Amino acid sequence: MSSRAQSLRNRMTDHERLVWYVLRGWREQGFHFRRQSPIGGFIVDFVCHKYRLVIEIDGSQHGFEDNSKRDAARDAWLRSEGYEVLRVWNVDVRENLDGVMDGIYAAVCELRRRQEYDGS
């Protein structure tokens, strides 16, 4: 699994690279993300383990029924493991990167706030 994850890291899509460039800059704020990271039997595009957030950058192939069903099952499993899952379309990354990143930032800040509130 880790060799496949490494291969995916070496072959990130342009959309994933754009998101990764921004996510890396958030480390100073305590948000450490990993890219193409194994969780269970899956490899997720990005994950912040500390705040249990998974981000998936989806291309058009995810709109097909079979892929959509697989994604839903995968998301359900990740949620059962305590992760929140955000799915973002490639077109949104391309056309509205700032808005996408604002949404991701708001989500991770909310998860941090909940964790601090819960005393976790």
* Contact yes or no for 77/40 (Cβ under 8 A): yes
* Averaged pLDDT, 82-94: 95
The CATH class, in words, for 2-118 is alpha beta
Tokens, residue 10: 């070496």
Query: What dihedral angle (degrees, nearest 10) is formed by the CA atoms of 31, 34, 37, 38?
Result: -40
Q: Give the list of residues 6+ apart from residue 22 with CB closer than 8 angstroms, or none.
A: 97, 101
| Mean confidence (pLDDT) of the chain | 88
Please determine, for residue 60, whether its predicted confidence score (pLDDT) is greater than 80: no
Residue 31: per-residue pLDDT: 96
Residue 112: per-residue pLDDT: 95
* Contact yes or no for 71/41 (Cβ under 8 A): no
Q: What is the pLDDT of residues 96-114, one digit of tens each?
A: 999 999 999 999 999 999 9
Burial 8-18 (b: 16+ CB within 10 A, else e): beeebeebbeb
pTM comes to 0.85
